[in-house]
Homo-oligomer: A and B are copies of this chain.
Amino acid sequence: MKLYGYYRSSCSYRVRIALNLKGIEVEHVPVHLVRGGGEQFAPEFVTKNPMAQVPLLELDSGEVLAQSVAIVEYLEETVPTPALLPRDPYQRARVRALVEMVNSGIQPLQNSLVLKELTKRNVDSTDWARLFVRRGLEALEHTAAGTAGRYLVGDALTLADVYLVPQLYNARRFGVDLAPFPTLLRVEAACLSLPAFDRARPERQPDAEP
């Protein structure tokens, strides 16, 4: 399989973590989201993914999968061990709710396309990103206070952790003060002590820039 991604894209980072946790080796194909106006808009990439976004997983059959949630659920279904979702339906739903608090509740409001459109309209895009990241992390911290053990939901790693760590990476890029989120920081430290998370870090990728 091939993963089209970008070292700094938090959505690519999620998929890298999930692949590492599952022990799946893939070929990494870098798509530079800034250089030359963005390689994701190149016709040969848009043919593969009309949303012009990474990550994109290309299966050995040549079939492609977009959207990090669809990709990680696919990995969970096809490589069930180690499980990244609990067995109980209600607990699975709690994990998925935390995933979506990041996936649809925070990240879309601070992605590079949105920030570019805000700048065009004379809006301070960093201020905007901070507002929505902070608001989302507040809700996540509040929810996590009721669900967390060593990880975000109890003591076993789940997809919620896979989504948390890249979002905190983005929060730091925007200069969000993370002191009000002690549960999230504690879980992040536990995750980053694992090789699967550490190897997925943006700065460890071959396309990382200084």
Binding site for B on A (CB under 8 A): 50-52, 59, 63, 65-71, 73-74, 77-78, 89-90, 92-94, 96-97, 99-101, 103-105, 107-109, 114, 117-118, 121-123, 128, 131, 136, 138-139, 142-143
Contacts and interface: CB of A to CB of B under 8 A. Distances in A.
A96 B69 contact: yes
Nearest to A51: B139
B105 A103 contact: no
A92 B69 contact: no
Chief secondary structure at chain A's binding surface: helix
A123 to B, nearest CB: 5
A89 B74 contact: yes
Contacts of A94: 65, 70
A50 B139 contact: yes
Given A92-B74, A100-B103, A117 B108 contact: no
Nearest to A76: B89
A119 B128 CA distance: 13
Nearest to A65: B93
Contact of A121 (B66, B96, B114, B123): B123
Given A51-B101, A105-B51, A96 B73 contact: yes
A67 B108 contact: no
A100 B102 CA distance: 13
A69 B100 contact: yes
Given A50-B142, A50-B143, A69-B69, A74 B101 contact: no
A117 to B, nearest CB: 7
Contact of A100 (B63, B70, B105): B70
